[in-house]
Amino acid sequence: MAKEIKKIALLTGGGDCPGLNAVIRAVTRTAILQYGYEVIGYKFGYRGLYNNDFVPLTLESVTGILHRGGTILYSSNKDNLFDYTVEENGKMVKKDVSDVAVENMKKEGVDALVVIGGDGTLTSARDFARKGVNVIGVPKTIDNDLAATDVTFGFNTAIEVATEALDRLHTTAESHHRIMVCEVMGRNAGWIALEAGIAGSADVILIPEIPYDINKIVEKIRQREAEGKPFSIIVVAEGAKSKDGEVVVSKIVEDSPDPIRLGGIANKLAYDLEQVIKDHEIRSTVLGHIQRGGNTSTYDRILSTRYGVAAVEMINAGLFGNMVCLKGDKISYESLENVIGNNKNVDPEGELVKVAKSIGISFGA
C-alpha cells in the first residue's frame, strides 16, 4: 500500500517566468483546501533543497501573488545537485550531492516534491525520480520549446510584451521612416519571434529554424519603399543566424549548466544592414528580460492555475515521475523520462510560417 501523503514541497528552478507565482498559489491552495496537506517551498530552487532552506506555504502566504511575475520562492539556474560545486580541502570541486537533498526531504517528512521548471530543472527532477523521490514536474519556459506540452506557461505573457513593443516601435518607425530591429528571447526556438511578429505586424521575422540571407531582407525593405511604405519592422529571435554565419553569443557563464548566453543579433543585423542601406536610419532594440517580468497575462494565470491544481491531483493519485502538460484543451501528463531533451522547434513548413508568408511577411530566405 502506498504511503499516505501528508506533506509536500515545491521549488522553482531556472530563469524566472510569468506564472510561477500562480502555480505556487494553485498548488498550495489545492493541497490545503482539498487534501489537507502541509506545504513548504524550497528557496532558490535546488540550492534550497541542498541547504534545507525552506519556508512554510500557507493560504496567507500565497494571498495576492496570482498576478505577480517572478517567484516568491526565488530561483537559480546554476544549481545541479548531481554536479554541484562544493569545497573540499580548500579546493572547489564538482560532486553529486543529491543524497543530501534526499536526506533533507526525509528529515522534514516531505512525501512528494513538485518541481516547476524548464528542460534543465526537469532533468534533475527526472534524476530524483530515478532515486525514488516522489516527483511531479510542471513545465515552465517563456520559450515554449518543450515538446511534451502544447503550451508552457509564461509564453503567452512574453509574446504579449513583445507584441506591445512592436506596436510601439511602429509609430516611431513610421514617424522617422526608420528601419527598426527588435530582438526577442527564445534561445534556439523561434516561437516568440514568430507569434509576436505576426501579432505585431512585423515585415520581417527572423528565427533560428530559417537561416536568413541579408539580401532577401534588403529586398523586402526596398519592396515596401516601392509600395510607398518607407519604414520597416524586423523582429529577430536571439538564436537567429545568417546562412553563412553563427549565432551571436553575448557571454559565457562558466559555472552554469547551460553556459552560453545568446544576445546581440539585433545590433549585428542593424550594423550589417547599414553597410547596404545608406538612405535610412536603422535602430535596434533588445527587449531582454522585459519579456520575463511584470504582471502575468490572463491566459498564463489560468494555465498556471490549471497546472498547479493538476500537479496536486496527480500527487493524490500517486502519478509520480510525470510532468503535467496541456494536450489540445485538456490537461494531461507525460513521463519525465520522455520530456527531457525533447525540444519543440518551429516547423519551417508549418501552418504559422505559411500564414505569415501568405500575408507578406518575409523570413529573409
Active-site positions read 143
C-alpha cell at 123: 532533468
CA dihedral 175, 180, 186, 192 (to 10 degrees): 40
Alpha carbon distance 341, 336 (integer Å): 10
In the DSSP assignment, the letter for residue 156 is H
Whether residue 333 contacts residue 322, with contact meaning beta carbons closer than 8 Å, is answered with yes
Closest C-alpha to 74, from 110, 45, 46 = 45
DSSP letter for each residue of 31-65: HHHHH--EEEEETTTHHHHHHT-EEE--TTTTTT-
In the DSSP assignment, the letter for residue 5 is P
In the DSSP assignment, the letter for residue 153 is B
Closest C-alpha to 22, from 361, 289, 296 = 296
User: Cβ of 299: how many Cβ atoms within 10 Å?
Assistant: 16
Q: Is 244 left (phi over 0), alpha (psi -120 to 50) or beta?
A: alpha
Alpha carbon distance 28, 61 (integer Å): 9
Residues 6 or more apart whose Cβ sits within 8 Å of residue 4: 111
- Give the start-end residues of each E strand in the chain: 7-12, 38-42, 54-56, 84-88, 91-95, 112-117, 135-139, 179-184, 204-206, 232-237, 249-252, 260-262, 282-286, 322-327, 330-335
DSSP letter for each residue of 233-300: EEEEETT--BTT--PPEEEE-TTSSS-EEE--HHHHHHHHHHTT--SS-EEEEE-GGGGT-SSPPHHH
